[in-house]
Amino acid sequence: MTDRDETYSRIEALIEPFNKKGVEITEGTRFAVDLEWDSLTVMDFVASVEDEFDVLISMNRVAEIETVGQLVDAVDQLQED
């Protein structure tokens, strides 16, 4: 399992409690459109990602992230910084 795979599966697990509709998660799953998350759900979720990976994800950064795959890449990059 590569580092990216590991990040992906940890994020997948974090999505679980917020995935009320039981949507199947893939790289391309869109948070707003497919998971139908509102802004407060997004902020709660982002906080849990921050705590899991011990990183800070600014609101400006969050605004640019649309899909699960993009979030995985962003978290990997933040961990390298």
Partner 1 sequence: MTDPGLEMELGGSREGGGSGDLFSKFDPLIEQRRALLAKGVTDPFNLVMERVESPAVAICNGRRTILLGTYNYMGMTFDPDVVAAGKKALDEFGSGTTGSRVLNGTYVGHREVEQALRDFYAMDHAMVFSTGYQANLGIISTIAGKDDYIILDIDSHASIYDGCALGNAQVIPFRHNDVDALEKRLRRVPEGAGKLVILEGVYSMLGDVAPLREMVAVSKAAGAMVLVDEAHSMGFIGPNGRGVAEDQGVIDDVDFIIGTFSKSVGTVGGFCVSNHPKFEIMRLVCRPYVFTASLPPSVVATAATSIRKLTGSSAKRAHLWENSKRLHAGLKQLGFTLGTDQPQSAIIAVIMPDLETGAAMWEALLKEGLYVNLARPPATPSGMTLLRCSLCAEHSEEQVGEILGMFAAAGRSTGCI
10 versus 67: smaller Cβ distance to partner 1: 67
In the list 7, 14, 15, 37, the residue contacting partner 1 (rule: CB under 8 A) is: 37
Give the number of residues in contact with partner 1, rule: CB under 8 A.
Answer: 29
For residues 25 and 68, the answer to whether their CB atoms sit within 8 Å is yes
Residue with tokens 């509709």: 21
Residue with tokens 């979030």: 71
Q: How far apart, in whole angstroms, are the C-alpha atoms of residue 3 and residue 66?
A: 21
In the list 15, 42, 49, 75, the residue contacting partner 1 (rule: CB under 8 A) is: 42
* Binding interface with partner 1 (CB under 8 A): 30-33, 37-40, 42-44, 47, 50-51, 54-60, 62-67, 70-71
